[in-house]
């Protein structure tokens, strides 16, 4: 191989490295973004849990691990991300406030940790956890029984 061909090959490699250097050659998995979003959602007050469907619940039971990406769907295209979050809210919380807080925290966490631009965070409320109301009624009935005795 001649000296000229070697130099041309080196220049081509340098161009390739520079091209890769612009986006750093890093590809972040949708699952990673979903876990980041899941952690951010779990920290929002008023969220009782995530709604992930039947298959997600089965895998959690079998593996014994909590699935942090449960109820989250992520679409990453180039440097943009769209995130759908399916939640169950606590009874008595103001749903618009909870949804806004989720949008804010998820966007901030994903953008800070991945460098992706979050275009959308869609919050889908799948249910309301009323266990709190049942617990309060049980406590009231127990107190009234104790007062009668």
Average pLDDT, the chain: 77
Which of 6-10, 121-125, 129-133 is the least confident region?
6-10
Per residue in 7-40, pLDDT tens?
Answer: 454 445 444 444 344 556 788 889 999 999 999 9
Q: Are 130 and 48 in contact (CB under 8 A)?
A: no
Q: What's the token pair of residue 7?
A: 């130099």
- Asked whether residue 16 is domain-assigned, the answer is no
Q: What is the model's pLDDT at position 97?
A: 96
Q: Which helix (H) or strand (E) holds 90?
A: strand 80-90
- Asked whether residue 117 is domain-assigned, the answer is yes
Structural domain tally of the chain? 1
Per residue in 72-97, pLDDT tens?
Answer: 999 998 889 999 999 999 999 999 99
Q: What one-character DSSP code corresponds to residue 75?
A: E
Q: Are 71 and 87 in contact (CB under 8 A)?
A: yes
Query: Which structural domain range is residue 79 located in?
Result: 30-148
- Predicted TM-score (pTM) of the model is 0.67
Q: Which helix (H) or strand (E) holds 126?
A: strand 117-129
Q: What is the model's pLDDT at position 67?
A: 77
- Closest C-alpha to 60, from 68, 31, 33: 68
- Asked whether residue 47 is domain-assigned, the answer is yes
- Asked whether residue 7 is domain-assigned, the answer is no
- Asked whether residue 55 is domain-assigned, the answer is yes
- Asked whether residue 95 is domain-assigned, the answer is yes
Please tell me which residue, 103 or 19, carries the higher pLDDT value: 103
- Asked whether residue 56 is domain-assigned, the answer is yes
CB 37: neighbour CB atoms within 10 A?
Answer: 28
- Asked whether residue 114 is domain-assigned, the answer is yes
């Amino acid at each position: 191989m001649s000296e000229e061909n070697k130099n041309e090959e080196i220049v081509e490699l340098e161009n390739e490295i520079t091209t890769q250097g612009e986006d750093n050659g890093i590809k972040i998995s949708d699952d990673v973004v979903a876990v980041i979003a899941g952690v951010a959602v779990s920290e929002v007050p008023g969220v009782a849990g995530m709604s992930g469907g039947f298959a997600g619940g089965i895998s959690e039971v079998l593996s014994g691990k909590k699935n942090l990406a449960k109820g989250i769907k992520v679409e990453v295209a180039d440097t943009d991300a769209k995130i759908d979050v399916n939640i169950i809210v606590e009874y008595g919380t103001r749903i618009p406030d909870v949804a806004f807080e989720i949008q804010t925290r998820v966007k901030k966490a994903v953008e800070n940790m991945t460098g992706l631009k979050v275009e959308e965070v869609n919050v889908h409320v799948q249910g309301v956890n009323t266990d709190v109301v049942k617990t309060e009624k049980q406590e009231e009935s127990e107190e009234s029984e104790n007062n009668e005795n």
